[in-house]
Copies of this chain bind each other. A is one copy, B any other.
Amino acid sequence: MSHASIKDVAALAGVSMSTVSNVLNNPGRVAPDARDRVQRAIEQLGYVRNAAARQLRLGSSKLIGLALINISNPFFTDVASGVEEAAREAGYSVLLGNSASRPDGETGFLELFEKQQVDGVLIVPSGDVFDKLDELRRRGTPSVLIDRVDDRNAFSSVSTDDVVGGSLAAKHLLSLRRRKLWFIGGMLDVKQMRDRLEGFRAIVANHPGVTLRVETDERVDVTSGREIGRRIASIPEQYRPDAVFAANDMLALGVIHGLTAIGLRVPQDVAVIGYDDIAFSEAAAIPLTSVRQPSRRMGSAAATLLIEELADPQNFRHRSVVYEPQLMVRASTAASKGI
């Protein structure tokens, strides 16, 4: 009734366990007729390999752990798709965890991953997980960072240059003659946020007369964006920003909604630019200008890097792949001011 084992298959096929194992792993080494009998026995019993036993024996699970901050942000699911694709091609499966769902966040997941004996970890770090990652590696589980470089270069990483991304956004807004800018983002203890702001600010600093105000909130989702949008809309015109750079698209989409709900026009009254360029941005009724990160490619590159390291841990040299972000100009900033 329960799961059949290799032993059952062997008995039914009238061969030894190792022959069955060979049929599974080295079909070439086994005589055709024995192979056929084993195959039939497998079918008949509905035999399925027990990964736990295999893993225990082999010391490898052929599993990669992917730790995401927030699975409901399409940027991350795009990354995940890329990871899965590359992993599958190399014969790995992906154990997906989203830290938002755990009280203990990313650390909790890393522990689960380790217990499950994943061969390696892919992580989009938000908090400070480097100690934990170091520990993991000392015990033989390597990891690759996504969307974030490791300053000490102790881990491979795949990211987009967020400083450049921030400056792209600023240049674009300034070229549109916007002068009163807001940066809206998550907590600045997250490196990605800091970098985007840094790039943005550096450009603004070269433009005397242009003001920049920084607003941060713990939540970086559509709802919190909408609240900020409404707040902006209620500010008298002379104090109101004429452009907003939101540190991710969900936020930006929310801001537009909050703004327009109160009658402001985007981009005429307030231009809005986001970050990530998720699919919804292009399809929004006011298509969103956004700084694109090649999310899917980042995912597959990270997985590839990890798999390379797994294949030859000794000789592998850590690498940092940094992509250039790309400005996607759309309606949310396209028209000139005040028209």
- Taking Cβ atoms with an 8 Å cutoff, the residues of A that contact B are 1-4, 46, 48-53, 55-56, 61, 63, 71-72, 74, 77-78, 80-81, 84-85, 88, 93, 95-98, 100-102, 111-112, 114-117, 135, 138-140, 221-223, 225-226, 253-254, 256-257, 260, 266, 279-280, 282-287
Contacts and interface: CB of A to CB of B under 8 A. Distances in A.
Contact of A46 (B2, B74, B138, B253): B138
Contacts of A135: 46
A258 to B, nearest CB: 9
Contact of A286 (B56, B253, B285): B285
23 contacts: A1-B140, A2-B140, A4-B139, A46-B139, A49-B115, A50-B117, A51-B52, A51-B115, A52-B52, A52-B56, A53-B56, A56-B56, A72-B78, A72-B81, A72-B279, A77-B77, A80-B98, A81-B98, A81-B101, A88-B101, A95-B96, A222-B279, A284-B285
A308 B88 CA distance: 33
A48 B114 contact: yes
A138 B45 CA distance: 11
Contacts of A63: 116
Contacts of A100: 81
Contacts of A115: 48-51
Nearest to A287: B257
A98 B83 CA distance: 12
Nearest to A58: B52
Which DSSP category, helix, strand, loop or mixed, fits chain A's interface? helix
Given A283-B226, A284-B257, A285-B284, A139 B74 contact: no
A260 B46 CA distance: 54
Contacts of A52: 51-53, 55-56, 61, 116-117
A320 to B, nearest CB: 25
B81 A71 contact: yes
A98 to B, nearest CB: 7
Contacts of A2: 139-140
Residue among A49, A225, A226 with max Cβ neighbours from chain B (10 Å) = A49
A43 B84 CA distance: 34
Given A46-B135, A280-B280, 11 more contacts: A1-B139, A2-B140, A50-B117, A52-B61, A52-B116, A72-B279, A221-B279, A222-B282, A223-B279, A253-B284, A266-B285
B46 A3 contact: no
A285 B254 CA distance: 9
A70 to B, nearest CB: 9
A103 to B, nearest CB: 9
A98 B84 contact: yes
Contact of A84 (B85, B101, B257, B283): B101
A85 B56 contact: no
A140 B5 CA distance: 13
